[in-house]
Amino acid sequence: MKPISTAASAMPRSGIRVILDLAVQIPDAIHLEIGQPDFPTPPHIVEAAHQAMLQGFTKYTPNAGLASLREAIAVKVSRENGIPATAENIVVTTGGMGGLFSSAAAVLDPGDEVLVPDPGYPNYEMMAMLCRARAVRYPLSDLAGGFQPLLDALPGLVTPRTKAIIVNSPSNPTGSVLPAATLAALLEFAQRHDLYLISDECYEKIIFDAPHVSPAALGDDGRVLTAFSFSKTYAMTGWRVGYVVASPELARTMVKLQEATVACASSISQKAAEAALAGPQDCVAAMAQAYARRRDLVIELLRSHGLPTYTPQGAFYFLIDIGRRGVPSEPFARDLLTGQKLAVAPGSTFGPRGDRYIRISTASSEEVLREGVGRLCRFIDRLSSTTTSTSTSTST
């Protein structure tokens, strides 16, 4: 039998999902590995979907999405994100991941290179591989520097094959929010080297101490593709609906890609998305405030155990430094799961610069976070004691 696709077989799995698959076999494990809001989808959104089903709205939609939803999204991004848009700039996608993949597939050819953050979302590399392109990692600063892009390192990574750069703010896995000046510098870099800029803004509404800025609002000349999602903003992860804002030419290309792959986003989910945009937004603010309280709780818990920390400005993730324990992040995460029944994401899945960290999600209740972070800190304390004892024994 002939071999299967080399791109698909060579693509690594996300370490987040590897740990999740192990953790679901442990009934009483605490799950801090996956970004899954613990809030229910707001009732008015659920009711809109229910009414759509009752009214028989269960058929295909246009590949680009419902015209009414695209128009509502265009109003939203123009008003709230400062991105001038009409419906022809909008493509409704199967979640944020569908939007990111279609964005990558619309601009990348085999052999192209795309710059991705390190540490950064592992699916960026996976998407590049499926496009037969190569992900080249650009470094972010360390924990003390707040995980900001090291701008001086970018020019040295550009080759004749470089086609695009991916920017993520608020960030998964770091929780960092990029200031307008940094985003302007990244956009200028993309313009100078004639690169597409794919902006992952799926956590745009989960911000705490800094405003969210869209690079496309800073003077886009048609090279920026901006991916958004309803998943995290409205606790709609299972509904699988997001959208991309792009130039009309790129949007038309993405529509063809969707026709060949998913046809369209769920019609029911699209009607739910319309209700999300048109309905009350106090649910969004309430969830963001809860995530801010949870962030502060985690900082307090980590500091009480003497662990280095920082203050994420958005999203609902923490990178926790385990580098001084001398254990790579993947075996650390596996041992933590088997020993403490606590699931966390190994930092190595986010890139080489992430291997000294593990990532936890703060999308769980304060009670779960107290117990989970407590288990983590006890595990680190015991690991440190063992390392110290071994070191002392060896030196004597």
What is the four-CA torsion angle of 40, 45, 46, 49, rounded to 10 degrees?
-150
- The span from the CA of 121 to the CA of 100, in Å, is 11
- The span from the CA of 396 to the CA of 385, in Å, is 17
pLDDT above 60: residue 388: no
- The span from the CA of 165 to the CA of 148, in Å, is 15
> Which of 184, 185, 137 is closest to 157 using CA atoms?
137
pLDDT above 60: residue 396: no
Mean pLDDT of the chain: 94
Is residue 313 helix, strand or coil? coil
Is residue 74 helix, strand or coil? helix
Identify whether the C-beta of residue 347 lies closer than 8 Å to the C-beta of residue 358: yes
Write the CB contacts of 98 (distance below 8 Å, at least 6 apart in sequence): 240, 242, 258, 262, 265
Region 211-220 average pLDDT: 96
Reported pTM = 0.94
DSSP code string of 84-122: ---GGGEEEESHHHHHHHHHHHHH--TT-EEEEEES--T
Query: Band of the pLDDT at 326, cuts 50, 70, 90?
Result: confident
Q: Which residue has the tokens 């892009």?
A: 149
Region 196-224 average pLDDT: 96
Is residue 370 helix, strand or coil? helix
Region 163-189 average pLDDT: 98
- The span from the CA of 23 to the CA of 31, in Å, is 8
List of domains in the chain: 6-40+282-385 (3.90.1150.10), 43-278 (3.40.640.10)
Q: For residue 170, report the phi and psi dihedrals to the nearest 5 degrees.
A: -60, 150
- What percent of the chain is predicted at pLDDT more than 70? 97
Length of the chain counted residue by residue: 396
pLDDT above 60: residue 129: yes
Report CA-CA distances (Å) from 52 to 87, 260, 271.
Answer: 22, 26, 7
pLDDT above 70: residue 221: yes
pLDDT of 386? 62
pLDDT tens sequence across 48-85:
999 999 999 999 999 999 999 999 999 999 999 999 99
> Which of 38, 60, 88, 125 is closest to 243 using CA atoms?
88
pLDDT above 60: residue 311: yes
- What percent of the chain is predicted at pLDDT more than 90? 88
Region 91-115 average pLDDT: 98
Other CB atoms within 10 A of residue 251 CB: 22
- 336 sits in which H/E element: helix 329-340
66: tokens are 């419902």
- The span from the CA of 196 to the CA of 194, in Å, is 7
Query: Band of the pLDDT at 392, cuts 50, 70, 90?
Result: very low
Other CB atoms within 10 A of residue 110 CB: 9
Report CA-CA distances (Å) from 202 to 12, 135, 251, 316.
Answer: 23, 20, 18, 12
Write the CB contacts of 332 (distance below 8 Å, at least 6 apart in sequence): 322, 325, 346, 358
Identify whether the C-beta of residue 264 lies closer than 8 Å to the C-beta of residue 290: no
Could you write out the three-class secondary structure of 177-244? CCCHHHHHHHHHHHHHCCCEEEEECCCCCCECCCCCCCHHHHCCCCCEEEEEECCCCCCCHHHCCEEE
> Which of 375, 380, 382, 287 is closest to 31 using CA atoms?
375
Region 197-215 average pLDDT: 97
